[in-house]
Amino acid sequence: MNSRLMAAAIVAASVLAAPVAQAEQFINVLTGGTSGVYYPLGVAIGKIYGDKISGVKTQVQATKASVENLVLLQQGRGEIAFTLGDSLKAAWDGDAEAGFKTKLDKLRTIGAIYPNYIQIVATAESGIKTLADLKGKSLSVGAPKSGTELNSRAILAAAGMSYKDLGKVEYLPFAESVDLMKNRQLNATLQSAGLGVASLKDLSTSSEITVVAVPKETVDKIGPPFVSVVIPANTYTGQDKDVPTAAVVNYLVTSSAVSDDLAYQMTKLIYDSLPELANAHAAGKEIKLEAAATGSPVPLHPGAIRYYKEKGLIK
């Protein structure tokens, strides 16, 4: 009996002494609406992480984009998120008008990605050809306090207008805006996204459209982080000329709660997997490693800094 008890005790001790299995890591990728650019790129990133980071489970979450994403990161409800640069600055500053009641001090940057183009598209029958023509007309400005909606306010203000000058303001995601335009219930939409966004491609193939210019002098009134760019001819069906507009750089952002090692892996896999991101969406072709560590209003995560030092981008 004593020998049996001793054997049992030895077994029990060995079980207690066995190393505890490492808990599975979780990466929630915060994106935007499913008809935008953030979502397909986020799906690609989620797959890359799931395939190449050992012991990681990934989820891709559709959201209202920039502002919501940054709030969720601060709350610990995501590990990596897409955001516009102006929203990121507003979050870091604690800009209440932009939707941030306090400074979001846990935010840390992974890297700069592609520029968001301010794309103002009207139905041809609306007669809208310039920013001034939007007066008295209906415009969808993006989901409330989304990055797109903040861009809408900035563009209209620089053109000497506000929402009060519009005939009607709709606060809708991209796909819903396009549906209303197809049904002749909306004159125009402002969509802040990468070139070739699916919603506007869909609209241009089914309706005659006008891509409305945002002149350089208007962009200059806003200043950084807005820059003057061009939407190349034939980006959308029926758009036969280059159209000047504004752009804001997008960033991938994480939280200070994410470990240095995981942030390093997330950063490395983004910039080592650019061909996969380019295949996921045309905007992925505009992501450049050489620009990744520049321009963010929020500090880089130490894990990201480690990767950029390896690449010689930071000394």
* HSE-up (13 A, CA, CB side) for residue 98: 27
* HSE-up (13 A, CA, CB side) for residue 187: 19
Q: Tell me: the pLDDT tens digits for 163-202?
A: 999 999 999 999 999 999 999 999 999 999 989 999 999 9
- The answer to whether 190 and 157 are in contact (CB under 8 A) is no
Which segments of the chain are extended strands (E)? 25-30, 56-61, 80-84, 107-123, 138-140, 168-170, 188-193, 209-212, 226-231, 243-255
Task: Pick the closest to residue 84 from 276, 258, 299, 296 (CA basis).
Answer: 296
Q: Tell me: the pLDDT tens digits for 63-106?
A: 999 999 999 999 999 999 999 999 999 999 999 988 899 999 99
Q: Tell me: the pLDDT tens digits for 205-214?
A: 999 999 999 9
- The answer to whether 247 and 115 are in contact (CB under 8 A) is yes
Q: Is the pLDDT of residue 23 over 70?
A: no
pTM of the model: 0.80
Show the DSSP H helices in 61-208 as ranges: 66-74, 85-93, 147-158, 174-182, 198-206
Domains (ranges, CATH) in the chain?
Answer: 25-113+249-310 (3.40.190.10), 116-248 (3.40.190.10)
DSSP 300: B
